[in-house]
Homo-oligomer: A and B are copies of this chain.
Amino acid sequence: MSQSSEDLASPWNPVPKGLEGVIVANTMISKIDGKKGRLIYRGYDIQDLAGNVPFEAVAFLLWVGHLPNPLELDTFRKNLAEHRHISSDVRSFLEGTPHEADPLVVLRTAVSTMGLRPTKKDSILEDGLNLASQFPIILSYFQHMRNDEEIIEPRKDLGHASNYIYMLTGEVPSKEHEHALDSYLTLLADHGMNASTFSARVTISTLSDIYSAIVSAIGTLKGPLHGGAPSKVWEMLQEIGQAENVTPWLKERIANKERIMGFGHRIYRTEDPRSKILKKLAKEIANPDTFALASLVESEARKLLQEEHPDRPLDTNVEFYSSLVLNAGGIPTDMFTATFACARSFGWVAHIMEQLADNRIYRPDSEYVGPLDLSVPKMYDAKK
């Protein structure tokens, strides 16, 4: 008898909880093929992109729609590098930031701070460059500030991945390390209509500004159901410690129905295509003992989980080998999810652009299931 069911007896009501499987937008940015285990960015399989195409070219692809020609790539690289400086507002925010703050909260607040002064250039591309180029700077500044170390200033001659590692560690990464983090950024840059991307689109759909939309996305990614807990995979490997502990450790967890970190994904019915590539990258740059331990955990867990749930195969997800790649790249454990945000910021900006190009406000409905026609108690009538 509620308004919703009276007015809106439509085939799409009710929709599944959490909007699972409900198409809320058409997109030309990325496609997840959950059955085949493929992820496509604007027509290209990420298997062909990651590691072959430099991350800046992938970013250009996501934003502009095609892979850049040499001139376009050169210009885009320079543009990104030119934006490698933070405003005095952001700098003084970071200087006052408590050292114990969650890096994602620091990132969220720093980006909100960036919106305090209205930009002169009213260009979404300009704002996107400004935002995406500064994520790594904000994080590495905070890293040094909380450790009472000297700030390492950005370098404009390095690539996006390379500059991030340089700013964090003070050393220009090796070719292998640069390649691995560059590939990581490509792999994590977009992933269909995930919760953070959706929240960015909902926010921008009111014709709010890009800073508001990115702030929404960061806050949404912060939740463990989305941004996950890649640092927990790392902690798990530390806890297991050595090969002989793997099987008993896993068996105990499974017997207690505890979750094994880094396994399973809602979308992929088969192996997460990102996970396969991350494993290769981890093999290239991680400590060989750690990699061997992780591989053993993977194969043992896969076997044990399959015995437990033969109908529901559980493969490693994107978090599992990410943790090895990020650790080897010099990223502090508690900045793994914030580094995920560095990659995903490029996807968020692409979706914000796409939403604005054909916008309609997201203003869904709810079904009222509470009481009706209550009378205000007498005690309040006296106050009239």
Contacts and interface: CB of A to CB of B under 8 A. Distances in A.
Interface in A332-384: 360-377, 379-381, 383-384
Contact of A27 (B266, B366, B374): B366
A209 interface: yes
A28 B376 CA distance: 17
B101 A117 contact: yes
A249 interface: no
B202 A198 contact: yes
Interface centre among A117, A216, A366 (most CB of B within 10 A): A366
A7 interface: yes
A57 interface: yes
Contacts of A199: 199, 202-203, 216
Nearest to A33: B3
Interface centre among A23, A115, A196, A209 (most CB of B within 10 A): A23
Interface stretch (A37-45, A128-136, A271-279, A311-319): A37-45
Contacts of A330: none
B112 A215 contact: yes
A123 interface: no
The interface size bin for chain A is 35 or more
Nearest to A111: B112
Nearest to A53: B380
A338 to B, nearest CB: 14
Contacts of A22: 12-13, 15, 22, 364-365
Nearest to A32: B3
A28 B44 CA distance: 46
Interface in A181-223: 192-196, 198-199, 202-209, 211-213, 215-216, 218-223
A28 B368 contact: yes
A325 interface: no
B67 A364 contact: no
Given A26-B366, A203-B216, A366-B25, A108 B117 contact: no
B207 A212 contact: no
A310 interface: no
A280 B6 CA distance: 31
B93 A370 contact: no
Interface stretch (A78-86, A163-171, A224-232, A253-261): A224-232
A151 interface: no
A366 B192 contact: yes
Contacts of A18: 205, 360-364
A239 interface: no
A269 B202 CA distance: 24
29 contacts: A3-B35, A13-B23, A18-B205, A18-B362, A18-B364, A19-B362, A19-B365, A22-B364, A25-B366, A28-B369, A31-B370, A43-B374, A44-B376, A49-B376, A51-B384, A52-B384, A53-B376, A93-B96, A100-B117, A100-B118, A106-B116, A199-B203, A204-B223, A206-B222, A208-B219, A208-B222, A209-B219, A213-B219, A226-B363
The 10 closest A-B pairs by CB, nearest first: A206-B223, A212-B219, A31-B368, A208-B223, A28-B370, A43-B374, A43-B371, A19-B364, A18-B360, A206-B226
Given A13-B21, A112-B215, 14 more contacts: A2-B31, A19-B365, A25-B367, A28-B368, A31-B372, A40-B372, A42-B374, A52-B384, A67-B377, A93-B93, A101-B116, A109-B113, A196-B206, A202-B220
